[in-house]
Amino acid sequence: MEPSTLETVLTAVAAGRLTVAEALDRLKPPEVRWDHDRRRRRGFSETVLGTGKTFDQVLEAVETARERPVLVTRVDPAWGPELERRVPDAVHHPVARAVTVGPLPPVRTGPPVAIVTAGTADRPVAEEARLTLRVAGIPTEVVYDVGVAGIHRLFGVLDTLRRARVVICIAGMEGALPGVVAALLAVPVIGVPTSVGLGAHAGGFAPLLTMLNSCAEGLAVVNIDNGFGAARLAQLIWQTAAPPEEA
């Protein structure tokens, strides 16, 4: 804590302008510390991750943000409507398990980030990725349910994937799709293992290992269910060809 802050508060207590309880509350350390420098340094502002936070901490984070839009990920289903009620401009996106606050920027022109899932159940992860890119103004195109158990479905959408600048490929179960997709394309592919599976799936470790061990060259892997992280990586790659300054 800054000594000057402490002095100010103690002076106020001494003068009777603050009760001891009020003073203690002022002097407690801040629970949320925004990285206000992130946009300058990385090209995007900080995001609020809901996991492990209380509702009040999320609310404090949203209210102390200096920029708009704010993206809140992994929100408890019950928090979405409550945030919409208490925060102006908040919009709940239930499938993506996210909330956005403030107007979104226009979508930029250029080849999209293709988001492809192996199964229908992978949709929440795909939506988190799509929304994260939408908030950043990056164009996307989504294709669902083209898993390797019916591989001709993949060949039917191959042209869509070839037109993309980057591909995010999301798969649970055995997670073989990203390797098969990467082996067919000349653009970067980001594999996202999901926790959708049964039995020896180990909460997503099975598809994670599949992707890490893929014999397809040049497959990027991110954490299980991490649609947000995949989107950020896709954004950075997308901007390699079209830097933010050009927008």
All residues at 6 or more sequence positions from 160 whose CB lies less than 8 Å from its CB, including other chains: 114, 141, 143
Beta strand extents in 118-165 (DSSP E only): 140-143
Residues that bind a second copy (rule: CB under 8 A) add up to a total of: 100
Among 6, 24, 202, 247, binds a second copy (CB under 8 A): 202
Nearer to a second copy, 102 or 238 (CB): 238
Tell me the C-alpha distance between 186 and 179, whole Å.
Answer: 13
Site string for a second copy, 25-64 (x = CB under 8 A): ----xxxxx-x-xx--xxxx-xx---xxx---x---x---
Which residues inside 144-183 make contact with a second copy, applying CB under 8 A? Answer: 144-153, 160, 165-166, 172-176, 179-180, 183
Strands 98-101 and 90-93: antiparallel
Quote the least distance from Cβ 89 to a second copy, whole Å.
20
Give the per-residue SS3 of 16-84: CCCCHHHHHHHHCCCCCCCCCCHHHHHCCCCCEECCCCCHHHHHHHHHHCCCCCEEEECCCCCHHHHHH
Residue whose CB is less far from a second copy, 15 or 159: 159
Q: Please list every residue from 117 through 136 that binds a second copy, using CB under 8 A.
A: 118-123
Range 205-244, binding a second copy (CB under 8 A): 205-226, 228-229, 232-233, 235-241
The answer to whether 105 contacts a second copy (rule: CB under 8 A) is no
